[in-house]
Amino acid sequence: MKIRNLLEIRKAIYSLLRSDERMIAFSTSKTSSSAYCILVNELNEYVCFRVSDHYTSPFYSNRTFYIENDLEKLRENIRKYLDNISWHKFKYSDFYGLQCLKQMKLKKMSIYIDNSAEIFDRAKMGMLFYQIVDRSRNKKEIHTVSESFQKHLRKFYASGLISETKLFDNTYLVYVTAEGLALIEHSMPLYINKFLEDFDSINLNYVEIE
């Protein structure tokens, strides 16, 4: 999409928001052929959606609105969708999980998607994750990921709060998306005190979420 098209889509989204709704992130893919948006309301609930001209991963569960020349129709379709779905509650456990992913990056720890069963090609199995820790230049450790964290990671991926980038060695590195980062910052005043209480007990080598 051209820059003007992206701006027009963004304007259309702003125009459909209710007084208790805010758009906290609007990002594009590397090719700018898809736009990703996250909205929040005063109940600390959120919804993500995608505007694009092509399909995406079967593990991404958010609604995609396909680009049309009629922006008013696009606007109406998005508003109707927002009025008829249940928005996601962003709980402390979600905040905790995304914060752990951010902390891992600072500690040379990374989460990867296990594609040994070619899940991206077949889309028949549940998504699995594992952790790699860089101890030194030539030493890496592979760690399993707890089932409780696996569950949250699957939810984050499905809702667009995390995504993956394919590396040269055909591995899939997980990262927190612009939408996920925006949601962390938006919820910081609500959850920072609790997170500081938990901070010293966090085990980044094996994250468990209650």
* Structural domain of 63: 3-89
In a domain, 206, yes or no: no
**For the segment 89-137, what is each residue's pLDDT rounded down to a tens digit?**
999 999 999 999 999 999 999 999 987 655 555 445 578 999 999 987 7
d(CA 208, CA 210): 7
Whether 172 has a pLDDT exceeding 80, the answer reads yes
Shared domain for 141 and 44, answered yes or no, is: no
Does residue 110 form part of some domain? Answer: yes
Q: Which amino acid is at 197?
A: E
Average pLDDT over residues 1-18: 92
Q: Give the pLDDT confidence of 12-57 residue by residue, as tens digits.
A: 999 999 999 999 999 987 776 889 999 999 999 999 999 988 776 6
Q: Are residues 139 and 61 in the same domain?
A: no
3-state secondary structure of 154: helix
Residue 118 lies in a domain: yes
Q: Are 171 and 146 part of one and the same domain?
A: yes
Instruction: Give residue 58's pLDDT band: very low, low, confident or very high (50, 70, 90).
Output: low
Structural domain count, the chain: 2
Q: Looking at the structure, tell me whether residues 133 and 107 fall in a common domain.
A: yes
CATH of residue 105: 1.10.10
Whether residue 164 is found in the same domain as residue 83: no
**207, part of any domain:** no
Is 125 found in the same domain as 74? no
